[in-house]
Amino acid sequence: MVVSDEEGHRGDGTEDGGLRPGEARERVYDALLAVRPPVDVLVLADAVLVASELVSNAVRHAGGVTGFRVSIGDGEVEISVSDGSQARPCERTPRPLVREGGYGWGLVTRLARVEVVAGPGDGKTVRARLPLTSAHSAYEHPRFVPAQRRPPDGGMR
């Protein structure tokens, strides 16, 4: 099932109407919220991060997004981002004191099964697939701390 499919975006993702990372995050988030039974919050977070990084990379390194698609089926979500560059994404060593960035592609390849295919035209499409189920629930995650209900007085004494 294709949930979001857009073509024809071109540019830097800001002033000319190109797709922005925030819009990509919203589309993936909305698509996954509609899945029943609901997907785990860790799956949702990973998919939103992957979409954001793929679109950010297309905007920053490939002249902008020319196509964006979110599809759900066979127990996975597929996020496809097309751009006008034939250059394949590559991992850069992060150098936080020297330059910004360098983390995105490594995150994407660790969170998703990734395929880079030629086209459309002179560009490429990056497809990232993530399972809709997580091996562990967010509620079992060691860093998950459930919000505790505060007393009506706000806990002040």
The pTM score is 0.76
pLDDT tens, per residue, the chain with 157 residues? 666 666 654 443 344 448 999 999 999 999 999 999 999 999 999 999 999 999 999 999 899 999 999 999 999 999 999 999 999 988 776 666 665 666 789 889 999 999 999 987 899 999 999 999 976 555 555 555 555 555 555 555 5
Domain extent listing, the chain: 2-138
> CB under 8 Å to 37, separation ≥6 — which residues?
none
DSSP secondary structure string, 78-116? EEEEEES--PPP------TTT-S---HHHHHHHHSEEEE
In angstroms, rounded to a whole number, what is the distance separating the alpha carbons of residues 132 and 90? 26
Position 110, amino acid? R
The architecture (CATH level 2) of 2-138 comes to 2-Layer Sandwich (3.30)
- Residue 73: which of 23, 25, 31, 136 has the closest Cα? 31
